[in-house]
Amino acid sequence: MKALLLAGGLGTRLRPLTEELPKPLTPVCNRPWLEHLMVHLRDQGIREFVLAVKTHADKIQSYFQDGQALGVHIEYAYEQSLLGTAGAIKNAEHLLDGRFLVFNADIVHLVNVAPLLEFHERHGGLVTIGLTEVNDPSHYGVVELTKQGEILRFVEKPKREEAPSNHINAGIYVMETSVLDWIPKNRETSIERETFPALIDHCVGVYGMPVDGYWLDMGTVDRYMQLHDDIFAKRAPVHMSYRMTREGVWMGKEARVHPGATIIPPVVIGEGAVVQSGCTVGPYVSLGDHAVVRAGASVSRSIVWPGATVGSEELVSDAVVGRTFVTQACRPAPSAAVREQETANEREPVMQR
């Protein structure tokens, strides 16, 4: 079975990060998010991928190429202009056959696909939408379901007390190719706002199945940073690419930390990264491959992108540092539990060689 990954959007909410790299290449603990997703699916036996690309398509293709390095096979469907989430699926028609999976490439949800496929087979619909449960559905399109799991309607951003359920579209679908007959060619169309409502109106079998586990739409800077906090706190099950050298400290190959620097876990230090003397790095820091923290600088609760530099004596906190930008998060202050853990960590700084 093929998985189609929608990876061509503008990522406007994630600017300025997406001016340097497209959203699918946004590093999450030093690996592009899309790589985490493909590896997760590969490990469940999915080895055929179609990437629907437009924005920064060249960067995405030059990173993943034909997928051989990841042990998968990747084909690309290019758009001349942005076609929206449904238009992008239609544009990949020539690469799809039979039943296929679709994933929004910016959704962090490492779902187990077997139960979703089994549900789809059992109900025999055209589409099964993976659903996730949220506490406050008032910001989302909420689904109303029958007991058998058929979707009756979507209610856009309902008042909390009027929401028919707490289930929202998780951005993961199982589809039959006949769905493509419902999508017009060469025109911008939204799968959520146009195709699904039309299919539901015609009662052709759109089902929803709640899928378990951590879910996050990585569409904003704050949520991108939230994701890292959740990974460090082990709430989000993202695999670290490096070995753990001490509790809460993951180091890539050839990283160099000066003996006079202080590392406060949890911290990820990328391959070939350099931490110079007198620096403090951590807690809750992901330092990209070949990033440099110059003498006397201090970095906490931040993500430093591959190849970026923190200048000497600089203080960086709650920020994303790229090669061409620094962006400050507006996320809430850490909770009492996090502060307590941070203070405990600070009491026992770990010296790295």
Rule CB under 6 A: which residues touch ligand GTP?
6-14, 23, 52-54, 79, 82-85, 88, 104-106, 219
> In the structure encoding, which two tokens stand for residue 183, read together?
């999508």
Minimum CB distance to ligand GTP, residue 85 (Å): 5
3-state SS of the chain: helix, strand, coil percent to 5?
Answer: 30, 30, 40
Strands 262-263 and 280-281: parallel
Minimum CB distance to ligand GTP, residue 159 (Å): 23
Residue 172, CA atoms < 13 Å, CB-side half-sphere: 26
Considering beta carbons, is residue 8 or 125 the nearer one to ligand GTP?
Answer: 8
Considering beta carbons, is residue 50 or 269 the nearer one to ligand GTP?
Answer: 50
Considering beta carbons, is residue 63 or 242 the nearer one to ligand GTP?
Answer: 63
Minimum CB distance to ligand GTP, residue 320 (Å): 15
Minimum CB distance to ligand GTP, residue 52 (Å): 4
Considering beta carbons, is residue 104 or 262 the nearer one to ligand GTP?
Answer: 104
Cβ atoms of 238 and 39 within 8 Å: the answer is no
Peptide bond connecting 237 to the previous residue in cis, omega within 30 degrees of 0:
no
Considering beta carbons, is residue 23 or 228 the nearer one to ligand GTP?
Answer: 23
Cβ atoms of 137 and 159 within 8 Å: the answer is no
Report d(CA 8, CA 88) in Å as an integer. Answer: 8
Report d(CA 341, CA 283) in Å as an integer. Answer: 9
Minimum CB distance to ligand GTP, residue 322 (Å): 17
Strands 302-304 and 285-287: parallel
Considering beta carbons, is residue 55 or 300 the nearer one to ligand GTP?
Answer: 55
Minimum CB distance to ligand GTP, residue 46 (Å): 17
Q: At what angle do helices 57-64 and 33-42 cross, to 10 degrees?
A: 50
- From the list 213, 126, 241, 217, the residue with the least C-alpha distance to 176 is 126
Select the residue whose beta carbon is closest to ligand GTP and give its number. 9
Considering beta carbons, is residue 91 or 276 the nearer one to ligand GTP?
Answer: 91
Minimum CB distance to ligand GTP, residue 10 (Å): 4
